[in-house]
A and B are shown apart, each in its own frame.
Chain A
């Protein structure tokens, strides 16, 4: 069974541009989570989607947004990129919203803002 996939693997943008990151969850998983991991730091929770709806949002500005499609895949958009947005962006999926369900992580998208 295929795991969580993310694309692209690497993304290089300049300050002020927009970035779009994509995530495909494990088949049958309805919940998708987005995290930011800056170099040397822990995971910072960004967004949580389930059944197409935003369920929760971390402490990030509105220029970080996303959506979940009917096939449960998800997209993270970062507008007006800033240098400090450079980080590894991780997507995870889980089977529903129950808190005992483990999250399965993808390999991440490395975003570099120049």
Chain B
């Protein structure tokens, strides 16, 4: 089962961009890259996902390396509300595949005012 590796913690200042890295060197060609975040005392919430191309949505951007062995979640202007644990996970795109969903420990992002 493919695993992801993320730094334990990162720190940013409010209004500055944040780049959260994720390594997934054993990614397979059928894996989607998903990002979720978990605010304090809440369940995780979806942020963004991608397969091969970079993706943008209202919350963030996802930059995927050409070899797909790493990706970076980009928060363009961090706010205090973005302080959370960010999880990078892989999901196999083959329908009905029984690969286990491995979340890891994520990156705890602190945002300074």
Chain A residues with CB under 8 Å of chain B are: 4, 33, 35, 41-45, 48, 55-56, 58-59, 90, 92, 97-100, 102-108
Within the complex, the shortest CB–CB distance from A4 to chain B, in Å, comes to 8
Interface residues in B63-96 (C-beta closer than 8 Å to A): 85, 87, 91-96
Where the two chains meet, the residues of B that have a C-beta atom closer than 8 Å to any C-beta of A are 32, 34, 36, 42-46, 49, 51, 85, 87, 91-106
B46–A103 CB distance below 8 A: yes
Q: Nearest chain-B residue to A3 (Cβ)?
A: B43
9 extra interchain contacts, Cβ-Cβ under 8 A, other than A56-B101, A92-B43, A100-B49?
A: A42-B105, A43-B103, A44-B103, A56-B98, A59-B100, A90-B43, A90-B44, A100-B93, A102-B49
A98-B95, A99-B93 known; A45 vs B44 contact (CB < 8 Å): no
Which residue of the partner chain, among A4, A43, A48, contacts B87 with CB atoms under 8 Å?
Answer: A43
